[in-house]
Amino acid sequence: MQYLLKKSIILLISLFILFITALIYTFLLYNQKIDSSAASIYRTSFIIGTLIFFIYGILTGIIEKKHGFLSSFISSLIIITIIILVKVIAKNPLNIANFIKYGVYLLSSSIGGILGVNLFHKEKKIKHK
């Protein structure tokens, strides 16, 4: 039960960060402060997605405090699987660029998990006599 609670908290925090980021990006697009071409939107969404998965990995590592690589990789893999299932159900085509993008998301989440575990990891000092 504790494991599911931890994962739920991590996911809710990540969704909140995603919501705020999407809100800011939409506001900037609406006020024409940034370019609204398709290539620019795709590039920016890729960068934002990579950052969100990186933050998700860091949060996973901080909260779980062990196995940062594995726990963030598995959590991100579940999220990406859900994204792929939604794309398949919506009949959006999957191409090689999408799988490269998802691979980068998994990599950034795994690196974030490693950093999250090591960022706040306090080792106990053993005194030798």
Radius of gyration of the chain (CA): 17
Write the pLDDT tens digit of every residue in 7-21: 777 778 777 877 887
Binned at pLDDT 50, 70 and 90, residue 83 comes out as: confident
Mean pLDDT, residues 24-34:
79
pLDDT (0 to 100) of residue 128: 57
pTM: 0.76
- Which residue type occupies 75? S
The Cα–Cα gap between 88 and 37 comes to 25
Which two tokens mark 87? Answer: 């794309």
Please name which of 48, 47, 55, 56 lies closest in space to residue 75, comparing C-alpha atoms.
56
pLDDT (0 to 100) of residue 125: 47
Every domain of the chain and the residues it spans? 2-119
The Cα–Cα gap between 118 and 111 comes to 11
For residues 126 and 2, the model is more confident at 2
